[in-house]
Structure 1
Amino acid sequence: MATNADAGPAGTTADPRYTKVAIWLHWVIGLAVIANIGLAMLTEDMPRETHRAAMATHKALGIAVLFLTIVLILWRLGHKPPPYPAAMPAWQRPLSKIVHLLFYLLLILLPLSGWVWMSAADRPVDFFGLFTVPSIAAPSKALADTLHDRHEVLGLTMLALVTLHILAALKHQFFDRNGLIGRMNPF
């Protein structure tokens, strides 16, 4: 298995940090997800044109998140994550792995459900004015209605998971003081 690309010379101990590529993908994807949650939830009651513009950005960001998540997964296949801090309780390790697996599933399923929903609703997705994302489903009102509901449930699940992730990171930083957050510090 490949070692951390940012690790020191061969034969040294494992780097306690993720690779720079993984760190930057984490932060870009994370900020895009938070922005998308905000765009979806905070623009609902705004004037129609404002909401429509926000949703165009939301859709394009969703496609970007899907693409970047695929890149991250491919990167992770060849780059082992750093070890957990020795002081981290054993019960938290499998829980952390489950949360990360749920993140990967949601980072694929949430934008994919939106893409299929927009395809079924016959509403093309414009990718930041650069190109139109091809449809991946035939128009179908029933499918569009079903995916609208599923997309919202997945979005609320993502909101809960992001909140849990941020609270856990803050706990590790300020209460446990175990240096776990340093593994993902881009600076």
Structure 2
Amino acid sequence: MATDATAGTTASPRYTKVAIWLHWLIGAAVIVNIGLAMLTEGLPRETHREAMAIHKALGVTVLALTLIRIAWRLGHRPPPLPASIPAWQRPLSRIVHFLFYALLILLPLSGWVWMSAADRPIDFFGLFTLPPIAAPGKALADTMHERHEMLGLTMLALVIVHVLAALKHQFVDRSGVNARMNPF
């Protein structure tokens, strides 16, 4: 393992380039989707509708990229955490990552079920329309709308925790853990 001269810590081995780029693509898409959902709510109806079309297609993209990332992960073990990471943070890291993967699957699927139940097809950037995965029904649409929003707020909270933890590792702990996911 290489020594980080600036921090005096031992840097961890890196994730594969594929895992790194999938992480950043998914992360960017999630942040854009949170912004589209939260920041366009009060805009004029047509503007909001256009933003939601992008939100839905981007959600499908997140789902596809997440499935690719999971398949990649099954064949490529992540690098170990640096020895400097406290024991109590190790299981917490695994829990947060598990929750991310669960939300990255459940959030787009809940939106897809919601749109199917609301009888509003999802257009994938003008290339094709996704088939419905639930029968139309107001009760199911209302329930999935609520669940989708709850999952979205949970994702927002998890993203904030993740970013704050990364900043702590980088600037307070200087653990070198962030170098594992640096694409450059």
Normalised by the shorter chain, which TM-score bucket?
over 0.9
Report the number of matched residues. 173
* Distance of 1:134 and 1:181 partners within structure 2: 39
Match of 2:7 in 1: none
**1:41 is aligned to 2:45:** no
Q: State the 1:172 CA deviation.
A: 0.1
Partner of 1:65: 62
Which residue does the alignment assign to 1:22? 19
2:104 paired residue among 84, 107, 124: 107
Could you list the per-position Cα deviations for residues 97-134 of structure 1 after superposition, in whole angstroms to 9, with x for gaps in the alignment? 00000000000000000000000000000000100011
Q: Does 1:85 align with 2:82?
A: yes
Structure 2 counterpart of 1:176, one-letter code: D
TM-score by length of 1: 0.92
- The whole-number CA distance in structure 2 between the counterparts of 1:184 and 1:115 is 30
Q: What is the match of residue 172 of structure 2?
A: 175
* Structure 2 unaligned spans of 5+: 1-11
Displacement of 1:77: 0.4
Is residue 157 from structure 1 mapped to residue 154 from structure 2 by the alignment?
Answer: yes
The answer to whether residue 115 in structure 2 is matched with residue 118 in structure 1 is yes
Distance in 1 of aligned mates of 2:130 and 2:176: 41
Name the CA distance, whole Å, in 2 between partners of 1:181 and 1:169.
Answer: 7
| Aligned-partner Cα distance in 2 for 1:110–1:156 | 10
Amino acid at match of 1:63: V
Moved over 2 A (4+): none
% same residue = 79
The one-letter code sitting in structure 2 at the alignment partner of 1:37 is I
Q: AA paired with 2:60?
A: I
TM-score normalised over the length of structure 2: 0.93
Deviations along 1:153-184, one digit per CA (max 9) or x if unpaired, are: 00000000000000000000000001111000
Pairwise CA RMSD? 0.6
Summarize deviations over 1:3-49 as a string: whole Å, max 9, x none.
xxxxxxxxxxxx71100000000000000000000000000000001
Please name the residue that 1:166 is paired with.
163
* 3-state DSSP of counterpart to 1:75: helix
Classify the secondary structure of the residue corresponding to 1:151.
Answer: helix
CA distance in 2, matches of 1:76, 1:130: 29
